[in-house]
Structure 1
């Protein structure tokens, strides 16, 4: 399970856009988003760098936790 600290997520739409961005590249990915803490956990065949880039492309700041 990969863990990321994501800044800028404020609502359900943010959660959906991050989740969908990851699932577009890996449909089998499991994505859990804790909006309150800004933590995104991902179980995926994608690398941490790939997931980070997908989140950045959605307009959020991200750090691997």
Structure 2
């Protein structure tokens, strides 16, 4: 059995204010290949993404944008 390394990356995201925001972002980012988990901190404006290997930052930014929010950078 092989062990796959995971990468934890936290991003700053603007426009989040409620549980719907959490659900929309979690659904959009979880649908991406290589994403293992997504944690959304509404109060802190942070989204933490666990991926296998290096994250596809362009894909993550696009998924967040498509959900109606803006990735403003890494935290």
TM-score by length of 2: 0.76
Alignment partner, residue 70 of structure 2: 61
For 1:13 and 1:27, locate their aligned partners in 2 and report how far apart those are by CA, in whole Å.
24
The alignment covers a number of residue pairs equal to 65
5 Å matches for 1:11-50?
11-26=18-33, 29-45=36-52, 46-50=55-59
Higher helix share: 1
Higher strand share: 2
**Unmatched 5+ residue regions in structure 1?**
none
Per the TM alignment, residue 3 of structure 1 is displaced from its structure 2 partner at its CA by 1.3
Bigger-Rg structure (1/2): 2
For 1:54 and 1:29, locate their aligned partners in 2 and report how far apart those are by CA, in whole Å.
15
For 2:47 and 2:37, locate their aligned partners in 1 and report how far apart those are by CA, in whole Å.
10
TM-score by length of 1: 0.86
Q: Which runs of 4+ in 1 moved over 3 A?
A: none
